[in-house]
Homo-oligomer: A and B are copies of this chain.
Amino acid sequence: MALNHAIMTALLDTPMSGYELTKSFDTSLGFFWKASHQQIYKALRDLEQQSMLAGEEVPQAGKPDKVVYQLTRQGRDTLDEWVLGQSRVSDAKDDLFVKLYNLNDTNRAHIIEELSERAAHVASNLSLYQRIRERSFAEPTSLPVRQQGVYCALLAGIRHCEWTLAWIEEVRPLVDAA
């Protein structure tokens, strides 16, 4: 399971509560791995039970208390091992592509609409990633090693967005005229 590993990864530097993790998954790692709060809280409980994480109740003023989790020694070791294992390639699993296989005169307008929505969504993601890049990775070569890895992943996010936008511009006229 990689959600567990994604969560442990997110906790590498900063211990966080489930709520904070959920927020952080909405940006950062969340581009590569989306997870609902239900999934995250569940995973946190499981991981704590397996001694991968240690949770600590933190009283708060002005807000409900929270439980902050940090990686244990064992969790760190397990994560390190996982990194050294084999990854497998995942599929895109995107409705839009399947829908394109169904292109006809009746649905063309709708599909163009969806392509436009997708473009808008991706463009807004892209500008978010660009902001992050400027803010935190202006000089990537002078960063600590792990942050350079994060930067590579961020670049993937950026390139992915750019690629998607270019593809949409490429096919829009084709779909339009089809």
CB under 8 Å from chain B, chain A span 135-167:
140-141, 145-146, 148-153, 155-156, 159-160, 162-163, 166-167
A159 to B169, alpha carbons, bound, how many Å? Answer: 12
Residues in chain B near residue A155, CB distance under 8 A: 167, 170-171
Residues in chain B near residue A99, CB distance under 8 A: 83, 87, 149
A12/B102 in contact, CB under 8 A: yes
Residues in chain B near residue A90, CB distance under 8 A: 92-95
Residues in chain B near residue A84, CB distance under 8 A: 107, 110
The complex is assembled from copies of this chain, and their number is 2
A151 to B171, alpha carbons, bound, how many Å? Answer: 9
The dominant DSSP class at the A interface is helix
A118 to B74, alpha carbons, bound, how many Å? Answer: 29
Is residue A88 within 8 Å, beta carbon to beta carbon, of the partner chain?
Answer: yes
Q: Return the CB mask of A94-111 against B: 1 if under 8 Å, else 0.
A: 111111111111111011
Residues in chain B near residue A152, CB distance under 8 A: 100, 103, 171, 174-175
Is residue A31 within 8 Å, beta carbon to beta carbon, of the partner chain?
Answer: yes
Is residue A121 within 8 Å, beta carbon to beta carbon, of the partner chain?
Answer: yes
Is residue A178 within 8 Å, beta carbon to beta carbon, of the partner chain?
Answer: yes
Is residue A32 within 8 Å, beta carbon to beta carbon, of the partner chain?
Answer: yes
Nearest first, the 5 A-B pairs at minimum CB distance are A103-B149, A163-B163, A87-B95, A152-B171, A32-B97
Residues of A within 8 A of B (CB): 2, 5-6, 9-10, 12, 29-34, 79-80, 83-84, 86-108, 110-111, 114, 118, 121-122, 140-141, 145-146, 148-153, 155-156, 159-160, 162-163, 166-167, 170-171, 174-175, 177-178
